[in-house]
């Protein structure tokens, strides 16, 4: 793997924007958003390659966009409702604090495999079948699986097989 050094300010903008427990999303709110379905929006530059990839795999009948761009208020509502319904021990590893979610950038998407009872916080996205085909090709379309197993101490987030982050295509060869 090639190491690439970026200016410190690069972590706050562009396709490589970094948002985590230590680094809040500082805005501005992504304005160029498009709808993937009635409830899910994504930054246009991420939505277009995502649509191409999903189309190549058979379309949105098998894969479901569960959650994309979130406003600060929406993140707050998701966090609070999960706290109420699921408790702190479940919520903290899976739901970022308001202001600290990658979803606020418009470049993160949670995907589920179509089926009954799809969970909003932890949708089913197994390492087999159509989901694994998506995963294998994702980097060609500028997406990475963001929160992998065994990396919890680095990312601060539990293993989330359903969460993909658009990092742009130039990064795929690094
Ligand atoms: Zn997510």
Query: pLDDT tens for residues 56-79?
Result: 998 888 899 999 999 999 999 999
- Tell me how far the alpha carbon of residue 6 lies from the centroid of ligand 1, in angstroms: 25
- Tell me how far the alpha carbon of residue 109 lies from the centroid of ligand 1, in angstroms: 6
- Tell me how far the alpha carbon of residue 84 lies from the centroid of ligand 1, in angstroms: 19
Say if residues 91 and 79 touch (Cβ distance below 8 Å).
yes
Query: What is the model's pTM?
Result: 0.90
Say if residues 99 and 93 touch (Cβ distance below 8 Å).
no
Q: Write the DSSP symbol of residue 120.
A: S
Give residue 114's Cα distance to chain centre: 18
Pairing state between β 33-35 and 41-43: antiparallel
Query: pLDDT tens for residues 109-151?
Result: 999 999 888 999 999 999 999 999 999 999 999 999 999 889 8
Nearest-angstrom CA–CA distance, 23 and 141: 26
13 has a pLDDT exceeding 90: no
Which pair of tokens denotes residue 164? Answer: 């993909």
Choose, from 30, 102, 145, 160, the residue flagged as catalytic.
Answer: 160
Residue 160 falls in the annotated catalytic set: yes
């Amino acid at each position: 793997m090639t190491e690439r050094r970026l200016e410190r300010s690069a972590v706050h903008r562009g396709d490589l924007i970094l948002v985590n427990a230590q680094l809040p999303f500082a805005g501005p709110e992504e304005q160029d958003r498009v709808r993937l379905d009635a409830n899910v929006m994504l930054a246009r530059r991420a939505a277009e390659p995502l649509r191409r990839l999903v189309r190549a795999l058979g379309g949105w009948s098998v894969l479901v966009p569960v959650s994309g761009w979130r406003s600060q208020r929406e993140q707050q509502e998701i966090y609070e409702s999960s706290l109420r319904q699921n408790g702190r021990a479940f919520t903290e590893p899976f739901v970022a604090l308001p202001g600290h979610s990658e979803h606020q950038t418009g470049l993160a998407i949670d995907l589920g495999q179509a089926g009954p009872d799809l969970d909003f916080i932890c949708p089913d996205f197994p390492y087999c079948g159509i989901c694994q085909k998506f995963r294998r090709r994702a980097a060609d379309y500028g997406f990475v699986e963001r929160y992998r197993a065994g990396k919890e101490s680095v990312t601060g987030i539990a293993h989330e097989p359903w969460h993909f982050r658009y990092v742009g295509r130039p990064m795929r060869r690094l």
